[in-house]
Amino acid sequence: MILFILEGERREIKIFNTIARLFLDREDSVFVAFGGNIYNLYSNLKQLGDGADVVELLRYRCKQRGDHALDKIDKSDAFSEIYLVFDYDFHDLKRPLDKLNSELEEMLEYFNDETGNGKLYINYPMVEALAYTKQLPDSQYNSYEISRAECSDFKHIVHDFSYYPSFDFLMKGDDDALSNNWSLLKQQNVSKANWICNDDDGRTPDVDSISQKNIFKGQQQKYICSDSCRVSILATLPLFLYEWEGR
């Protein structure tokens, strides 16, 4: 079985149910929301001490809120692969930027193998990046950035900017149309990741060259640690699909 650990309890689960129907083996996939950000997850994991794993933590969180998704899972090794999908949380001004970055760098090192501790995918700045696009395909997608100060209002900014009034263009309707929208989003985000990591958007990149660690490094060098303190808007689920389909 394959475990997907998602940040949110509503939207992310619905999005992944669509992805599973279109691209994954739904019978072999388990989707569970952590119900908090990746920084909280990692902090909680450390508190459990040596030998703890993310499945043990998730099982505990599920029991606390009456979620029975993992009731039938007796052992952590019941999962052959584990994926985590979370937000960068650039808008969290209570956490100093250098601390935010050092923690994420540590987590990307720890969660770097889906067959081990799990593999972490990060949205910049958050999952709503999926809808930050004009009509697909959007030739201007590589240019889209946002400042840290603006990120606190990102959900409203997306609503006003996007060609699409909701996430329905990725979740509802004809499967062929949905698959096409996901395919176009994948192309856009892979191209942008290639630009962030390799200063190249004109070729099909090798998966390793646009790894999550390389994307974060590129984001820091080009945007996050610049004088303007910005982030390049990037949705991580299309990148996950790019890797998944290339297996």
Q: What confidence category does residue 239 fall into, taking pLDDT thresholds of 50, 70 and 90? A: very high
Residue 121 has a pLDDT of: 98
Angle between helices 97-110 and 38-47 (to 10 degrees): 70
The answer to whether residue 74 scores a pLDDT higher than 90 is: no
> Residue 218's domain spans which residues?
2-245
Residue 40 has a pLDDT of: 95
The partner residues of 84 in beta bridges, in order of sequence, read 5, 120
Q: What is the mean pLDDT of the chain?
A: 93
Question: At residue 35, what are phi and psi to the nearest 5 degrees?
Answer: 80, 30
- How many independent structural domains does the chain possess? 1
In the numeric block, which tokens belong to residue 244? 């998944």
In the numeric block, which tokens belong to residue 90? 């650039």
pLDDT digits (tens, 9 = 90+) for 36-59: 999 999 999 999 888 788 998 998
Q: Residue 166 CA to chain centroid, in angstroms?
A: 18
pLDDT digits (tens, 9 = 90+) for 155-209: 999 999 999 999 999 999 999 999 999 999 999 999 999 999 999 977 889 999 9
Q: Which residues of 111-133 are buried (b: 16+ CB within 10 A; e: fewer)?
A: beebeebbbbbbbbbbbbbbbbb
In terms of DSSP bridges, do strands 145-147 and 230-232 run parallel, antiparallel, or are they unpaired? antiparallel
